[in-house]
Structure 1
Amino acid sequence: MHRPMEGVRILEVAQFTFVPAAGAVLADWGADIVKVEHAERGDAQRGLTRVMGLPAGVEGSSFAPIMEGPNRGKRSIGIALDKPESRPVLEELVRRSDVFLTNYLPSARAKLALTIDDIRKINPDIIYVTGSGFGTEGPDADQGAYDLTAFWARGGSADGVTPADANRVSFMPAGAYGDSMGGMSIAGGIAAALFARNVTGKPSEVDVSLLAIGAWATQFSVNLALLTGGPLPKVQRTEQSPGNPLTGNYRTSDGRWIQLSMLQPTRYWAEFFRVLGRQDLVDDPRFNTMDEITEHAEMIGEEIAKTMASKTFDEWVKSFADMTGQWAAVQNSWEVGNDPALIANGRIVEVVDADGRSQKLVANPVKFDNEPVKLTRAPQFAEHTDDILGELGLSGDEVIALKLAGAVT
């Protein structure tokens, strides 16, 4: 199996999901990721037991998706970065790495001597990558952030999905929602920086901020607001797109939803209504042109809604299976995890957890050479400390001395 990042070594000094998710993607692509964790607490995310009101795992299992997703395929070493005894270990790891990847704030990096100047003194050729809340410049460069604040709220998504008359702001649809998108962007930036170094011989400094990811995700609305010179008016959300009844969501008899998105309704009109069992709407002369469809859109939408409400979700999914017009079942997280298209393309992958049990994870969305990705579980806290120190050439006595000094775990 071709894994384009094989041979690339990445030193990750990061926690939570945003930046570690980039490491996970690169590990999927074949890179060797050494994850540096706090010598006592490990990645702070290991301490989260609930996410978005739900338990982060299940009773009796060490497998926690909140850690497994952004950390699969890595090796973990516990290092007390604030202890001088640990510095030679960190520096040797830096010397052996192609990329230094962190989400520590500038003040913390300065305190721990992890700035770009500090790292480049050790390895002048290393690519230095930061994932930040608001970018490396400007008044908020040293402000901490999560995707809920920088990406979702400040980046425009929260406002975009919150109705004008709402009593509260709409919440993110999933935990680490912006973090996961941001991790993919960082991974892409690292791939570009590695390519550039190979071509020019010069290493890059890369930064991706959650705010920038949020603005990129909402760019259509942001660009339109900049063009028109002010905030966009709140558009009243309806089940159907104005003027096009073949673009909208329709409720089934059992309370589920089907999403239609046929942007060329005249192209799919006859087929859709035949599948719907409404030949009368195919033959109706009032709907021969797009202008006529637009004029009668509300009435047509009501007819579609009435018919859709006559059958169950599963019945419509089966009926629409071979339809050429664009549609989708509105799926919950369980259905996404069992989606036949994702499974067929190797995007839902089995992995053996630390307890020896088979589990499943979502793979990154990039597929190389039409091959499924193979995943290994996330490391337990400091699981590979002894192995990594051995690779650096430390003797057993030297490792013990570091542990006694509290420099490594």
Structure 2
Amino acid sequence: MLEGLKVVEFSTYVAGPSAAMVMADWGAEVIKVESRSGDPTRHTFSASPHLKHNPVFEFENRGKRGVVLDISKPGGRDALVRILKDADIFITNLRPRALKRAKLDFASVHAELPRLIYCNVTGYGLEGEAADMPAFDIAAFWSRGGVASSTIPRGVEPFPIGPGVGDEICALATVSAALAAVNERARTGVGRQIETSLLRTGVFANGWNTAIQLRFGKVAATRSRRELFNPLSNYWPTADGTWVCTVTRHGADDWAGITSAAGLPQLMEDPRFATPRDRTQNAAALIDALDDGFSKLSLAEVGARLTAGDVIWAPMQNPGQVAGDPWAQAAGCFTEVEEDNGERYLAPAGPARLPGQPESVKRTAPGLGQHTRQVLAEAGYSAAEIEALIADGSAV
């Protein structure tokens, strides 16, 4: 879909690289620019030298070509601008102060390249006292954005979000905004600045709770599974050690479906559970009864019964179980990536499928500076000029 679109990404870790990776998956030409030391995710498994692969870096950076430039040197900065001259989108998560120091902030670049769409991926946005604060998603998205407090039940000690989860959501926001700007530029002929932040993405992702807080001035505390207002939207243990999630809907007869699946249809006649309010007031007793019923059944039995009752349900799976899940395979959750030596491996697929278009095999992530000479030549540098840039450390 994005064939003919050129994206230059000068960012590290997750959100910026992931946004560029999604565009590469969809056919864009993506050039990854790194410093001499490389994106820190290249070193994720450096303490485990027996591991031959780095699935984290490979996932975030597949399908790209790699260039190393030192933007603190005039030659390195000028080389980046020349690479950007025919680019459509520039993605960076360098802090604003560092970008301005290198004259790579939006104002400086826009003056030279007015058609370029410039994407700042940030922790806390470009305005206010936190504009230059360092951030990861555990801090900005999960903690400050209110997602953690809306997820962790009261009385439970805080725990971190899984690695990169908030970053990946921010990446999708970046892709959406950048492609909206491409559409706008088709009308105006002028590029614009795009800003996404982990904080703003976290507030949006936690939108239900945020909206309630903004409208009513308060929001209910997150409760443990034994204290829920709706005890039927919950997790249930099975005989083979798996937890199963059920979620109820307004207007659906999920009460009958869940009690039937647990082998306890008699609960429907119990006056303690006659209405939703009764079930809330007697949640502990109801959960004890359903736990007892479900715990006598296997996951296969529970799943079949819940499906027959048209109840929304899912097993709580770890990544290993997801990798073998036929539902995940049918949904296209995995894609093949080919290494330079022709070997292939599976990796998480992008977030959208294109019906009617076969899933293409992706190109593996680039080595550090693997395509520096090639990309500089495409930017108009002669062989002698390229060697001079490399000799003075502006490029590697």
Q: Same fold (TM over 0.5)?
A: yes
- What 5-or-longer segments of structure 2 have no aligned partner? none
Aligned residues of 2:236 and 2:244 also touching (Cα < 8 A): yes
Aligned positions, number: 394
Aligned residues of 1:337 and 1:362 also touching (Cα < 8 A): no
Which residue does 1:25 correspond to in 2? 22
Are residue 196 (structure 1) and residue 196 (structure 2) matched?
no
Residue from 114, 135, 138 that aligns with 1:124: 114
Which residue does 2:155 correspond to in 1? 165
| Mean Cα deviation higher: 195-204 or 320-329 | 320-329
Distance 1:156 1:372 in 2: 39
Shift of 1:76: 0.5
Q: Give the match's secondary structure for 1:246.
A: coil
Cα deviation per residue 1:43-82 (whole Å; 9 max; x = unaligned)? Answer: 12212337xxxx7x78342x31221222111110011111
- What 5-or-longer segments of structure 1 have no aligned partner? none
Are residue 208 (structure 1) and residue 182 (structure 2) matched?
no
Cα deviation per residue 1:228-262 (whole Å; 9 max; x = unaligned)? Answer: 335x45343224743x4432111122432100112
Distance 1:381 1:134 in 2: 29
Q: Give the match's secondary structure for 2:233.
A: strand
Question: What does residue range 309-324 of structure 1 map to in structure 2 within 5 Å?
Answer: 309-324=295-310
Letter in 2 for 1:45: T
Aligned residues of 1:134 and 1:210 also touching (Cα < 8 A): yes
Which residue does 1:338 correspond to in 2? 324
Distance 1:390 1:103 in 2: 26
TM-score by length of 2: 0.90
| Mean Cα deviation higher: 347-356 or 269-278 | 269-278
Distance 2:251 2:284 in 1: 14
Residue from 159, 164, 178 that aligns with 1:176: 164
Distance 2:144 2:304 in 1: 41
Residue from 278, 283, 287 that aligns with 1:301: 287
Alignment CA distance shift 1:235-1:41 (3 Å): closer
Alignment CA distance shift 1:84-1:308 (3 Å): same
Cα deviation per residue 1:7-63 (whole Å; 9 max; x = unaligned)? Answer: 11111111111111110111111111111110x20112212337xxxx7x78342x3
Letter in 2 for 1:66: V
Aligned residues of 1:147 and 1:177 also touching (Cα < 8 A): yes
Aligned residues of 1:240 and 1:301 also touching (Cα < 8 A): no
Distance 2:44 2:255 in 1: 50
Which residue does 2:132 correspond to in 1? 142
Shift of 1:215: 0.8
Letter in 2 for 1:402: L
Distance 1:267 1:124 in 2: 58
Aligned residues of 2:121 and 2:195 also touching (Cα < 8 A): yes
Are residue 151 (structure 1) and residue 106 (structure 2) matched?
no
Distance 1:6 1:332 in 2: 35
Residue from 383, 386, 390 that aligns with 1:399: 386
Residue from 206, 211, 215 that aligns with 1:227: 215
Are residue 6 (structure 1) and residue 7 (structure 2) matched?
no
| Mean Cα deviation higher: 293-302 or 256-265 | 293-302
Q: Percent identity, aligned pairs only?
A: 28
Which residue does 1:259 correspond to in 2? 245
Which residue does 2:206 correspond to in 1? 218
Shift of 1:272: 4.1
| Mean Cα deviation higher: 249-258 or 128-137 | 249-258
Which residue does 1:59 correspond to in 2? 50
Distance 2:324 2:385 in 1: 49
Aligned residues of 2:337 and 2:363 also touching (Cα < 8 A): yes
Q: Give the match's secondary structure for 2:363.
A: coil
Shift of 1:408: 1.1
Which residue does 1:268 correspond to in 2? 254
Q: Give the match's secondary structure for 2:170.
A: helix
Question: What does residue range 315-394 of structure 1 map to in structure 2 within 5 Å?
Answer: 315-354=301-340, 356-374=342-360, 375-394=362-381
Shift of 1:369: 3.3
Distance 1:224 1:156 in 2: 13
Question: What does residue range 63-102 of structure 1 map to in structure 2 within 5 Å?
Answer: 63-102=53-92
Q: Give the match's secondary structure for 1:183.
A: helix
Distance 1:147 1:129 in 2: 18
Aligned residues of 2:150 and 2:222 also touching (Cα < 8 A): no
Alignment CA distance shift 1:235-1:149 (3 Å): closer
Alignment CA distance shift 1:367-1:321 (3 Å): same
Aligned residues of 2:154 and 2:224 also touching (Cα < 8 A): no
Distance 1:215 1:224 in 2: 12
Q: Give the match's secondary structure for 1:206.
A: strand
Letter in 2 for 1:95: K
Cα deviation per residue 1:329-371 (whole Å; 9 max; x = unaligned)? Answer: 0111112223323312322112123554322111121222353
Distance 1:398 1:25 in 2: 33
